[in-house]
Amino acid sequence: MPATFVVVPLWQGSVSSRAMSHSDGADAILGDLPSSSTVVVEVPVEAGESLGTGVQRYSTLLRVRERTAVALSHVPDWALTIGGDCGASLASVGHASARTGGDLAVLWLDAHPDLNTPETSPSGGFGGMTLRAIAGEGAEGLALDPDTRVAPERLVLGGIRAIDDEERRFIDEHGVSTLTVEDLSDPSLVIAALEATGASQVFIHIDLDVLDPAALAGLSYPMPFGIGASELVALVRAVVARFPIAGAAIAGFAPSSPQSADDDLPTILRLVGALTSGGAASA
């Protein structure tokens, strides 16, 4: 079955000055998706409160996670989640992990590892904690439970080039597989790293800041020396051709204006096409 698109215009996980533009980015992508196979998760207008968790806007993030999980529970096959910031991927990975009985690797294509905790985060932004929560650690309600969490040895990080001290410690302690931007230009290296996890099915997360800023303008955290758009599309197509895809997400689109969004959309839609070019994982 083809993918169901689940649009989550979440911005509350970002602490960028352009955080609210993530909502605009999700809406811009929504305009080019097939309405018959697209579901939109309502994101509250209010920022939300931390409630002593160390996570900025925690209350809203929790509500959006719960709403996304409900939307995903009605998806007949696999979901391509459209953020919003990276926090939109949390419920989606949980859904994919449950569908596959935990037989899941996560390919995290991002300029940042997103492996902080509420205690170590320099900003309190959940976007920088999302993958740690996927590994089962974090604030109550925002960390996957033992049945759906993805173990560190099943994580493959690609294009990471801004790493905090705690993230480095976690990567080193657990031997998390990391691939450079240069490595991503050789899909065989990525496929080998995914095969080494032992999982037979894959969730692909793409934070658009894995791209070089020259390839895409609408980034809330532009980081130089990223991968080119054509190389990223080729990589995704190669991974999709090798592995059944249990789920995927595109996050981090924060256009500065409607015109800027229009300029960037062809690149994003090429990635959507690449993600949906293969077969889905079996439940």
pLDDT tens digits, the chain, 283 residues: what are they?
Answer: 589 999 999 999 999 999 999 999 999 999 999 999 999 999 999 999 999 999 999 999 999 999 999 999 999 899 999 999 999 999 999 999 999 999 999 999 999 999 999 999 999 999 999 999 999 999 999 999 999 999 999 999 999 999 999 999 999 999 999 999 999 999 999 999 999 999 999 999 999 999 999 999 999 889 999 999 999 999 999 999 999 999 999 999 999 999 999 999 999 999 999 999 985 554 4
Q: For residues 247 and 231, give the distance between their C-alpha atoms in angstroms, rounded to a whole number.
A: 21
How many helices (H) and strands (E) the chain has is answered by 9, 8
Token pair for 246: 């249990």
Q: For residues 218 and 170, give the distance between their C-alpha atoms in angstroms, rounded to a whole number.
A: 30
With tokens 């759906």, the residue in question is: 148
Q: For residues 209 and 237, give the distance between their C-alpha atoms in angstroms, rounded to a whole number.
A: 19
The H-or-E segment that residue 117 falls in is: none
Q: For residues 144 and 147, give the distance between their C-alpha atoms in angstroms, rounded to a whole number.
A: 8
Q: In which region does residue 105 sit, left (phi positive, over 0), alpha (psi from -120 to 50) or beta (all else)? A: beta
**pTM for the full predicted model:** 0.97
pLDDT for 2 equals 80
Contact 137, 159 (CB under 8 A): no
* Helix axes of 229-242 and 187-196: crossing angle, nearest 10 degrees: 40
What is the rounded average pLDDT for all residues in the chain?
96
Contact 5, 271 (CB under 8 A): no
Q: Tell me 153's DSSP state.
A: G
pLDDT for 279 equals 55
The b-or-e profile of 160-196 (16+ CB within 10 A means b, else e) is: bbebbebbeebbeeeebbbbebebbbebebbbebbee
With tokens 């190389």, the residue in question is: 231
Q: Which residues contact 173 (CB under 8 A, 6 or more apart)?
A: none
